[in-house]
Amino acid sequence: MSSLTITTIQSALHWEDPETNRRMFEEKMDAVAEKMELVILPEAFTTGFSMNPVKLAEPMNGPTLDWMKRVAARKKIILTGSVFIEEGGQYFNRLLWVLPNGQVGQYDKRHLFAYAGEDKQFSAGHRRLVASVKGWRIFLQICYDLRFPVWSRQQVPSHPPGATGRVPPVGYHPPGQAEYDLLITVANWPERRNQAWKTLLAARAIENQAYVVGVNRVGEDGNGIYHSGDSMILDPLGSHLYLKEHQEDIFTITLEKENLDKIRQQLPFLGDADAFTILNEPTDV
């Protein structure tokens, strides 16, 4: 059965200083002795959660994507995290999924954090991203998306699309089977609401019978808001495999697909789920 090795990097960020943050994260990755396959950085890892995209956003062919491609190729890893991107006169909080061969997947944050004015500065995305790696299907999201369970919910079809005369959608999977195996959330989630962060990550694991990884930042940002980290890895039953509070940390773990399949076979709850489809079909990479 397939295994997947994940490295999470919980770090403080240099406020609005992309070059320093890129150099810092590369140094942290170079210090890891264990084998790495998938490395996860926080939301807005080059800048912190600033509402100044006019100053900070890059084009897709800008220095951060170039850096991610170079690091992914050099270290033979998949590298992911979100950055601010300008495209067509709009700004996006965009998760980049960069393979060692240079292929790039992208996901634009769907739920913009109006409480901080993110919806006034950025445009929302409308398509989910489900990546495939070594037989694993990985659903990717950003921070505030975590509060909205429909966006994260496994779409488990109860019948083949031919029964309704519909053409199978992108990412279609057989009836009763899970859409994804691992959910990853990258974040700048403040300490003052960390109970919600911890609770929602556990809920997403339990209700979707999937591994869940949440990677947050630590430290105080440029607005004086403190982040306690609380980066977590949970198994499909919602049990903690990892939790780190208040400190910078790099953690590597190997997840086993066999364990996930065994839980789903012993507790076939997804087969009883309500069938539904999010009309903006998923993007697969």
Q: How far is CA 282 from CA 127, 174, 245, in A?
A: 6, 15, 33
Which residue in the list 58, 69, 109, 191 is annotated as catalytic?
A: 109
- CB-CB neighbours of 102 under 10 Å: 11
Token pair for 128: 């989910």
Which residue in the list 43, 118, 179, 191 is annotated as catalytic?
A: 43
Q: Any catalytic annotation for residue 143?
A: yes
Q: Any catalytic annotation for residue 75?
A: no
Helices and strands of the chain, counted as H and E runs: 7, 14
Give the whole-angstrom CA distance, residue 159 versus residue 172. 11
Closest CA to 49 of 118, 97, 124, 108: 118
**DSSP string spanning 206-273?**
HHHTSEEEEE--EEE-TTS-EEEEEEEEE-TTS-EEEEEESS-EEEEEEEEHHHHHHHHHHS-GGGGS
Q: How far is CA 49 from CA 14, 56, 155, 262, in A?
A: 11, 11, 31, 39
Which residue in the list 143, 179, 191, 244 is annotated as catalytic?
A: 143
Q: How far is CA 222 from CA 174, 208, 228, 259, in A?
A: 47, 35, 15, 42
Give the whole-angstrom CA distance, residue 142 versus residue 189. 10
Residue 52 makes CB contacts below 8 A (sequence gap 6+) with 16, 121
8 Å CB contact between 216 and 197: yes
β-pairing verdict for 104-108 and 90-98: antiparallel
* Catalytic center residues: 43, 109, 143
